[in-house]
Structure 1
């Protein structure tokens, strides 16, 4: 017999008309666990052995799954493990920020295959889109040199940019109003020939954490993203929650004092934009990341003063997240260098008492996540992969 330890997977359904959902369930099980036999897959997904065999054969034929060498252990029956084929699918991820565009191409398991970046003209989306299309073309050309089937296996383009989306106060410069009003998705779809999806940058960061970071295998986690602005990516019941209008988790807009004259949103005081202003730095500076790293490592007093003030406000935001959503853990993610993010995390302790402060915790209430500046683009690329391959429980409800 081979290993019968628990396997991370969602349940499939043996109802008729749900084959697409079952394919997604099996792909996710292989992504989470690396390699599994048909018996493993049947046990974990609660599908019949025949259903698993049929789906495995389909996935092999589609170039998404490959059989590995047969394993023989003791007196038990030999078994054949299967794994995903990384080059079975690719997706493009795009991060648009106030002054910067980043593009990555990832494979089916989230590995970055190509990347490109360039400065964007502030609040000039027409010119900015042309730059972005060139970045996408460069990344696709680089990928084509690695995989001859790359164009045929591109499943889409995911875009991440600061939200919230579709509000009336579109003149607020924190929300990139010119980009909000520009027909961005239509322009990108026409220019790339790909299906295009949009999410806010905090949601993309949470997706990256779910695939390759601290939220991997966790059903309930909130990623508190400290970038130019502040947002929260919500992973609830194992899926990214975006809300009715795609604006869930916009905690940066939460007021730190009662509404009315003098009220201040969180992101105006504790975001990296507030740090740039505090230090007199230009957010369009190509060396900004390196400058912040140097200042944080040198224990710069102005940086220390900002960290102390920002930590006070962010400590309150963790309390609010825990009280409202009861996650297993809160993950601090940031576009800042790891040196600065670690200082901010340390300064946020001790955390305020909340319902999360209980004995026997398996995970810390607050932990540091990804600080790679490319994480948002990677999370954006994961969106079309998820759209194509991740389980959606709504599929079962509709089929039922």
Structure 2
């Protein structure tokens, strides 16, 4: 789900940092900052590139590209590779991102857990800390954030601490609206309505703080660090406690005017335009509810197990419901946007995700594609921790990417 947060008067407000509109760059220093971001973004997409290719892709002159690349190398953001000799001419030198050139800390506030993660400039997880909770609580979040940020920074050397770009926060917007579905006391979740999360985190740290919807953050992590680099346009679906998603168009994260683009959980479910949404039939909380009614332990649904128990009651019916909802969403998005693919990720073990993909693929085979091109289904490559990973990526996106 992607919903704009509200202030104490109930008016919608732009979330801090990540959604703020950019200020136009002016002057040569601003232009260089933009070109630095262009080059870093390009290298991030391709993993490594020589100067000539960078100049060609960005439209910069060879001299201008060289000056910027040398500056980025001097600043410790780029790593010069070994010369590669071809059949003719001078050897080419590839440049890649330097892993310890920058770091990002992320806090993922979920409905069943809270997690803090430290990643480096290349997207490698350096450290992570996670706690389960029955429902999101403001006081518990503040205590965990203070402890977690301190723990993450303690793993870095003095020089590395200076390269931490900020703290990203990924959470469901309007979290207070879902007390019944989350099985949480309404009064506990209502505390979030007037609570300024970035401001509270800012009291804990001097680092910049960025806020983003949890599923949008997961989509951004897939875009920047995932394996599907051949795709330009896709819908991203994340099956979590509530199903949500994100949108990538022309290899750029598309958030929409209010940050709601790709909010698949809010789509009407087939035959249910009068109030029923996809999240009401395709979320993990529904499987949890079924298991609790059957007297089954549900802890495995929100833990970090690589596999779920065999013969989970009601799982086949739940998977059918999720698959039907995702395919309906996929066809709708494809009709409007002519997508390359739909990527399916979730807080799911690999075998359950594979089974979900299989059922979606089966439904897609029988779908009516008249007037539409074919559509590919792919599994997400970042994994079940994509939301937490994406939260740590927010400061890196804000400071070093387009």
Please tell me the TM-score bracket, short chain as reference. 0.7 to 0.9
Choose which of 388, 393, 397 in structure 2 pairs with 1:382: 393
For these two proteins, the number of residue pairs brought into alignment is 362
Following superposition, the deviation at residue 378 of structure 1 comes to 0.8
Where does 1:177-188 land on structure 2 (aligned, <5 Å)? Answer: 177-188=190-201
Q: TM (normalized to structure 1)? A: 0.83
Q: Is the 8 A contact 2:120 2:126 kept in 1?
A: yes
Identify the range of structure 1 (170-179 vs 149-158) with the bigger mean alpha-carbon deviation: 170-179
Give the secondary structure class of the aligned counterpart of 2:159: coil
1:229 aligns with: 242
Q: How far has the Cα of 1:98 moved from its partner?
A: 1.5
- Residue 345 (structure 1) aligned with residue 357 (structure 2): yes
C-alpha displacement of 1:132: 2.2
Task: Give the match's secondary structure for 1:270.
Answer: coil
**Cα gap change, 1:68 to 1:306, in 2 (>3 Å):** closer
Cα distance change on mapping 1:157 and 1:52 into 2, 3 Å: same
> Is the partner of 1:294 in helix, strand or coil?
coil
Compute the displacement of 1:178 (Å). Answer: 3.2
Aligned pairs for 1:250-261 within 5 A: 250-256=263-269, 257-260=271-274
In the alignment, is the contact (CA less than 8 A) between 2:237 and 2:244 conserved in 1?
Answer: yes
CA contact (8 A) 1:102 1:374 kept: no
Contact kept in structure 2, 1:32 and 1:217, CA below 8 Å: no
Secondary structure of the corresponding residue to residue 79 of structure 1: coil
Specify the alignment match of 1:336 in structure 2: 348
Normalization by structure 2: what TM-score?
0.82
Q: 1:189 to 1:355 in 2, by over 3 A?
A: farther
Secondary structure at the aligned position of 2:203 is classed as helix
RMSD: 2.6
Structure 2: distance between partners of 1:335 and 1:324:
28
Change (3 A) 1:291 1:97: same
Change (3 A) 1:171 1:374: closer
Q: What is the aligned counterpart of 2:308 among 275, 294, 298?
A: 294
Q: Give the number of the structure with larger relative contact order, counting CA–CA contacts within 8 Å between residues 6 or more apart.
A: 2
For the 8 Å contact 2:338–2:372, the answer to whether it is kept is no
In the superposition, relative to structure 1, how do residues 67 and 220 fare at CA in structure 2: closer, same or farther (>3 Å)? same
Equivalent residues of 1:91, 1:105 under 8 A apart: yes
Deviation of 1:154 after TM superposition, in Å, equals 0.6
Name 1:398's counterpart in structure 2.
Answer: none
Mapped pair 1:48 → 2:48: no
From 180, 183, 203, the equivalent of 1:190 is 203
C-alpha distance in 1, partners of 2:369/2:394?
32
Structure 1: runs of 5 or more not aligned: 1-14, 392-400
Q: Deviations over 1:143-193 (max 9, x none)?
A: x1xx4422100111111112357xxxx544258543343221101111022
Question: What is the CA distance between 1:121 and its match in structure 2?
Answer: 5.8
Cα distance in 2 for partners of 1:328, 1:287 equals 31
1:110 aligns with 2:123: yes
Moved more, 29-38 or 382-391: 29-38
